[in-house]
């Protein structure tokens, strides 16, 4: 397989290390696409990272900004990217040329963990494994539009698209939501009742039997049902739609090239979504395997200090930021331990004796098997929901924190297990973004767009919401609105192309 970007090819030594690491990984039952390593320098790695791993991606200023920040962080010694893997078949991984041999070993072992995860985790099942080619193709299409319509024009349009790129339905690749079948015909053409679509089915009967054959109650219920269905059909979309981007793509008055650009942005958003949904699991899994392989097989005496130093860096805890590497790997280890001891299931859960639970050991030995299963079926949300235990929470000194208006500080809110878990789940829901639906594409019967924020306790940030509405207006080209909650009351924020208004303002005026 030819190298993708003609970066440097591996040295003999690295080829040998790769052979060994791949061997160890396979021996443990990891299963991955062929993996191609490329050696790059820090500049190149930062550039590739800025593009989300795809050096052939479409041009846009924000990648330049990302690069600037990575470069600065690197040159000031604040941060360093060790490795980067792309979910593709074959997988591509970049190694930082200036790293020492110990780091290369560790990183390769880590990469095989990721590659196994990409291939086997259910949430990646629908991702495009030819994304390298498609990204390059997207890049070409957009560059082509830039040549034809001007860089600024296209880039400004991309800015608008990016404002709505996260308004997608992350579950839709797995669930068929839209009914492609035509609606069933309920009445014959020559039926007298056809004029009224809400009239219920009436069976023939003699007059005196009628209220037995066609009972009033059932008739009324059916009528109501039909009426509701009719209303739903008249709605547009018929049901609130979470893939706002798709709705805009299908219904906004976009030029062909614009629709194409939006579809590219949407496709890439779907491609990256599972990585957002499984950050803790994916990093935890890779960390679990690099530490297993390094400590059991690959590490020599001379590697020890470097290895320990690296691990202390990647696994460092923080009071303001939960380290996904740390949380992930500790949870896998906890699960492995519990399933090895048989510390799960009805008997265990029903045991009231804390001491007994602590020393529970049925020698079940199911740990390894269990974590492979976990990595196959879960995402971060379900992973935490299912496996974060009170015991784990205490052992790892987890707490929840929140912003305190009075002090202007983030303060520790609680160390109670239910609160901590709830906060964590809350932050993982929809990847920490508000959940938003299109509820009406013909609002007020004037072709305006109405979105609804499904309020779950946290308010939207108003200035961001306004800027987002501005972008959305540029796509929809008619006034746009979002319904949300502010201090307990429902409000409607609107943008009509000229000014931002809030239903609150109208009340005051």
Partner 1 sequence: MVMKIDRDNSRFKEIVKGKIRQNLRKYVTHGEMIGRKGKDLVSIPLPQLDVPHFRYGQNGKGGVGQGEGEVGQPIAPGGDGEPGQGQAGSDEGQHVLEVDVSLEELAEILGQELKLPRIEPKGKANIEDDKVRYTSVRKVGPESLRHFRRTYVQALKRQLSEGSYRPNDPRVIPYKDDRRYRSWQTVSEPVANAVILYIMDVSGSMTDDQKEIVRTEAFWIDTWLRSQYTGIERRYIIHDAAAKEVDEETFYHTRESGGTRISTAYKVALSLIKEKFDPTQWNIYAFQFSDGDNWGEDNRQSLAMLKDELLPICNLFCYGQVESPYGSGEYIRVLEEAFGSEHEQLVLSEIANKEAIYESIKTFLGKGK
Touching partner 1, residues 279-308 (CB under 8 A): 279-280
Q: How far is the CB of 280 from partner 1 (least distance, A)?
A: 6
Q: How far is the CB of 389 from partner 1 (least distance, A)?
A: 15
> What x-and-dash track marks residues 240-279 binding partner 1 by CB under 8 A?
--------------------------------xx-xxx-x
From the centroid of its chain, how far is CA 80? 24
Of 204, 350, 407, 499, the one binding partner 1 (CB under 8 A) is 407
478: how many CB neighbours lie within 10 A of its CB? Answer: 16
Query: By CB under 8 A, what part of segment 10-49 binds partner 1?
Result: 43-44, 47
In terms of CB distance, is 112 or 325 closer to partner 1? Answer: 325
In terms of CB distance, is 216 or 397 closer to partner 1? Answer: 397
Cα–Cα distance measured from residue 97 to residue 6, given in angstroms and rounded to the nearest whole number: 14
Q: How far is the CB of 424 from partner 1 (least distance, A)?
A: 5
The strand pairing partners of 103, in sequence order, are none
Of 90, 173, 200, 324, the one binding partner 1 (CB under 8 A) is 324
* Residue 261 contacts residue 161 (beta carbons within 8 Å): yes
The owner of tokens 């306004």 is 466
The owner of tokens 């740390």 is 326
The owner of tokens 């690295």 is 14
Do β-strands 91-96 and 35-40 pair in parallel, antiparallel, or remain unpaired?
parallel
In terms of CB distance, is 193 or 413 closer to partner 1? Answer: 413
**Secondary structure (3-state) at 255:** coil
In terms of CB distance, is 240 or 342 closer to partner 1? Answer: 240
The strand pairing partners of 91, in sequence order, are 35
Q: Which residues of 336-358 are buried (b: 16+ CB within 10 A; e: fewer)?
A: bebbbbbbbeeeeeeeeeeeeee
Query: By CB under 8 A, what part of segment 425-484 binds partner 1?
Result: 427-428, 431-434, 436, 453, 457-462, 464-465, 467-468, 470-471, 482
Who's near 505: CB < 8 A, 6+ residues apart?
none
Q: How far is the CB of 9 from partner 1 (least distance, A)?
A: 14
In terms of CB distance, is 275 or 340 closer to partner 1? Answer: 275
Of 133, 309, 411, 505, the one binding partner 1 (CB under 8 A) is 411
Query: By CB under 8 A, what part of segment 362-401 binds partner 1?
Result: 380, 396-401
* Residue 421 contacts residue 398 (beta carbons within 8 Å): no
How many residues sit close enough to partner 1 to count as binding (CB under 8 A)?
Answer: 85
Verify binding: residue 155, partner 1, rule CB under 8 A: yes
Q: Which window, 52-60, 248-256, 304-312, 345-353, contacts partner 1 (CB under 8 A)?
A: 52-60
Q: How far is the CB of 417 from partner 1 (least distance, A)?
A: 11
The owner of tokens 């007020």 is 444
Who's near 189: CB < 8 A, 6+ residues apart?
none
Which structure tokens are listed for 359?
């020393």
> What x-and-dash track marks residues 114-153 binding partner 1 by CB under 8 A?
-------------------------------------x--
In terms of CB distance, is 61 or 171 closer to partner 1? Answer: 61
In terms of CB distance, is 233 or 415 closer to partner 1? Answer: 415
Residue 11: CA atoms inside 13 Å, Cβ hemisphere, count?
A: 7
Q: Which window, 216-224, 292-300, 319-327, 350-358, contacts partner 1 (CB under 8 A)?
A: 319-327
CA angle 242, 248, 253 (to 5 degrees): 165
Cα–Cα distance measured from residue 417 to residue 350, given in angstroms and rounded to the nearest whole number: 19
Residue 52: DSSP 8-state: T
Of 28, 32, 37, 51, the one binding partner 1 (CB under 8 A) is 51
In terms of CB distance, is 198 or 400 closer to partner 1? Answer: 400
Query: By CB under 8 A, what part of segment 59-98 binds partner 1?
Result: 59-65, 67-69
Of 420, 450, 475, 480, the one binding partner 1 (CB under 8 A) is 420
Secondary structure in 3-state letters for 67-132: HHHHHHHHHCCCCCCCEEEECCCCEEEEEECCCCHHHHHHHHHHHHHHHHHHHHCHHHCCCCCCHH
Of 101, 219, 306, 322, the one binding partner 1 (CB under 8 A) is 322
């Amino acid at each position: 397989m030819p190298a993708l970007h003609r970066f440097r090819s591996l040295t003999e030594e690295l080829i040998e290390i790769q052979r060994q690491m791949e061997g160890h990984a396979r021996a443990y039952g990891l299963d991955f696409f062929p993996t191609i390593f490329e050696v790059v320098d820090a500049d190149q790695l930062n550039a590739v990272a800025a593009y989300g791993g795809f050096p052939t991606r479409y041009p846009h200023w924000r990648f330049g900004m990302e690069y600037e920040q990575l470069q600065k962080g690197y040159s000031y010694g604040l941060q360093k990217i060790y490795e980067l893997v792309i979910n593709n078949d074959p997988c591509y991984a970049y190694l930082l040329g200036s790293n020492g041999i110990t780091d290369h070993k560790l990183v390769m072992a880590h990469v095989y963990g990721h590659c196994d995860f990409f291939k086997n985790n259910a949430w990646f099942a629908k991702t495009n494994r030819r994304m390298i080619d498609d990204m390059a193709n997207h890049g070409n299409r957009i560059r082509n539009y830039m040549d034809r319509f001007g860089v600024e024009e296209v880039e400004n349009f991309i800015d608008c698209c990016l404002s709505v790129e996260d308004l997608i339905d992350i579950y839709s690749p797995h669930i068929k939501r839209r009914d492609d079948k035509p609606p069933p015909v309920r009445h014959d053409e020559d039926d007298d009742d056809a004029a009224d679509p809400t009239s219920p089915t009436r069976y023939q009967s003699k007059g005196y039997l009628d209220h037995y054959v066609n009972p009033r109650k059932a008739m009324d219920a059916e009528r109501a049902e039909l009426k509701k269905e009719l209303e739903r059909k008249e709605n547009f979309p018929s049901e609130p739609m979470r893939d706002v981007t798709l709705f805009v793509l299908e219904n906004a008055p976009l030029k062909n090239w614009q629709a194409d650009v939006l579809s590219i942005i949407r496709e890439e958003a779907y491609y990256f979504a599972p990585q957002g949904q499984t950050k803790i699991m994916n990093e935890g899994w890779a960390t679990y395997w690099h530490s297993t392989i390094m400590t059991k097989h690959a590490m020599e005496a001379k590697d020890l200090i470097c290895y320990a130093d690296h691990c202390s860096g990647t696994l460092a805890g923080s009071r303001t930021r939960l380290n996904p590497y740390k949380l992930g790997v500790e949870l896998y280890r906890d699960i492995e331990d519990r399933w090895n001891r048989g510390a799960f299931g009805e008997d265990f859960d029903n045991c009231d004796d804390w001491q007994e639970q602590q020393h529970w050991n049925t020698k079940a030995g199911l740990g390894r098997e269990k974590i492979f299963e976990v990595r196959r079926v879960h995402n971060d949300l379900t992973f935490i929901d299912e496996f974060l235990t009170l015991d784990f929470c205490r052992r790892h000194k987890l707490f929840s924190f929140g912003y305190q208006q009075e002090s202007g500080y983030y303060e520790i809110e609680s160390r109670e297990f239910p609160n901590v878990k709830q906060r964590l789940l809350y932050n993982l829901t929809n990847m920490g973004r508000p959940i938003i639906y299109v509820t009406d594409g013909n609002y007020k019967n004037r072709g305006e767009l109405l979105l609804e924020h499904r309020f779950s306790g946290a308010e939207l940030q108003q200035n961001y919401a306004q800027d987002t509405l501005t972008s959305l207006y540029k796509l929809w080209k008619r006034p746009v609105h979002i319904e949300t909650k502010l201090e307990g009351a429902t409000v409607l924020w609107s943008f009509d192309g000229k000014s931002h208004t809030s239903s609150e303002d109208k009340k005051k005026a």
